[in-house]
Amino acid sequence: MQDMDNTKKFNGLLSELGDCAEIEQKEIIEEMKRVIDEMNKEELYAFFKTDIFYKIHEMIEEKKISLENAILVLKHIGHCRVLKGVWNERFGGSLLQKRFEKMIIDEEKKKEEKNEKLWVDLCECYILLNKRISQEFLSTGVSCLLKVALNKEENEEAKKKVEIALVTLGSIDKWECVEQELYLHESREIIQYHQEHHNLSRFAYQSAWKFSILRLYRNREFEEVIVNELHFGREAARELDELAKCVDWKRKKEERGRETKEELAITRWLSFLYRSFCSCLLMNEEYSGIIQSIAMLFRASRDNYEEISKICKYPLMAAAGRITHIEDLLKGEAIDAVLEEFQRPTLNDEITSGFLECFDNITRRLKEKKDRTTDEEKRKALKKEIFEKMEEEGYEDIVISFHEVSGILYSKYRYQYELSVDFSNYLVNV
């Protein structure tokens, strides 16, 4: 199997390091990086199930590999983990994690002669490889990495450091709390500077947004900055549209090779947008552009890129169920895209179940006079327009037919709800 071949190849190269001089080690490390780059998600999952962190820790202990070279390897592994969206459980609780924790604490305590480069490297490795990080190390890491990310030097070395710092910050997940004073001003400055100077790679810019957006549930005041000053809706829609132009949507799966960097970036944006729609309470008219971009991606991907089309349903579900203006769902053609899916000769159960929930949320909101997205007159007009669309597409027949298999549809997907026996829950009553 390919994943075993790559894992064996990596482990073979790792073993070679212990018998090589320093100059030769650098060459082998570059080859190890290439092996990691070649791995897809499944291969990386298999790779992380091995005892790789134990081996590297042992080699550091036995002085078969320098700490500097070990960091080069580990940072690249962490970068690829984030790039390809793979969870890693094995680093947490390992001897290597404990070693890095102690070194970070020791370095931070130094009043003089602090090795700033080592401190940054350790923080990056620690965060990139960790699924959950304690508050103590999170505060230290964020403070350290934001300082690096704010560097505005134009040379390539400085740009690479900014890139990895932002990717690391973007890997910090929602439930890991970061104090407001550690990100508010810096996040704004990083994003604004890029909008003016275009100094970041696409991955780094996306990571800067992700780090900022996932802090919103802690700070509602920052939403005004994100939405109306930094124009998240406009920027996210533009990024998705530019990425979509780089993918050959007509190319069948068997004709494609590994996921391209553009495909990976689209997947990351869609997953991230789902999280942001669930967290954000403030939106403006620019968000209809995001909805339109997601609907376009769904239509483009549903024939030959099933993995992307499946992910499209999550931000659409969140948009329909929470606070996106319902008129934005119409304007962004999301409702049309969903209804088109129901008419296809062969349906994907996972996508269909999510889209049924979309309409459940939309019709529920339109029935509730308290829904804050629109006034009463607009609400009635929207109900009529959506009802006519649903009636034209035979939506009532679709709901009734799917009710017979709803147990199958919904038992397969943990976070869905069963269809109600009361079909009127899924229809708009004008």
Segments making up each domain of the chain, as ranges: 1-131
How far apart, in whole angstroms, are the C-alpha atoms of residue 107 and residue 1?
43
DSSP codes joined into one string, 277-309: HHH-----TTHHHHHHHHHHHHHHHTTT-HHHH
Of the pLDDT bands very low, low, confident and very high (cuts 50, 70, 90), residue 3 is very low
């690479």: which residue's tokens?
Answer: 160
Q: Where are the alpha helices (DSSP H) in 41-130?
A: 41-48, 52-61, 67-84, 95-109, 116-129
Burial of 213 (0-12, 13-18, 19+ CB in 10 A): buried
- If you average pLDDT over residues 304-316, what whole number do you get? 90
Task: Tell me: pLDDT of 387 over 70.
Answer: yes
Output the CA torsion 118→123→124→125 (10° steps).
90
Rounded Cα gap, residues 428 and 335, in angstroms: 14
Q: Any residues with CB less than 8 A from the CB of 359 and at least 6 apart, and which?
A: 320, 338, 390, 395, 426
Query: pLDDT class for 373, splitting at 50, 70, 90?
Result: low
Whether the pTM exceeds 0.75: the reply is yes
pLDDT at 123: 93
Residue-wise pLDDT tens digits, 289-304? 999 999 999 999 988 9
pLDDT per residue as tens digits for the range 78-129: 999 999 989 888 898 899 999 999 999 888 888 777 888 999 999 999 999 9
Q: What is the dihedral sign for C-alpha 410, 416, 418, 419?
A: negative
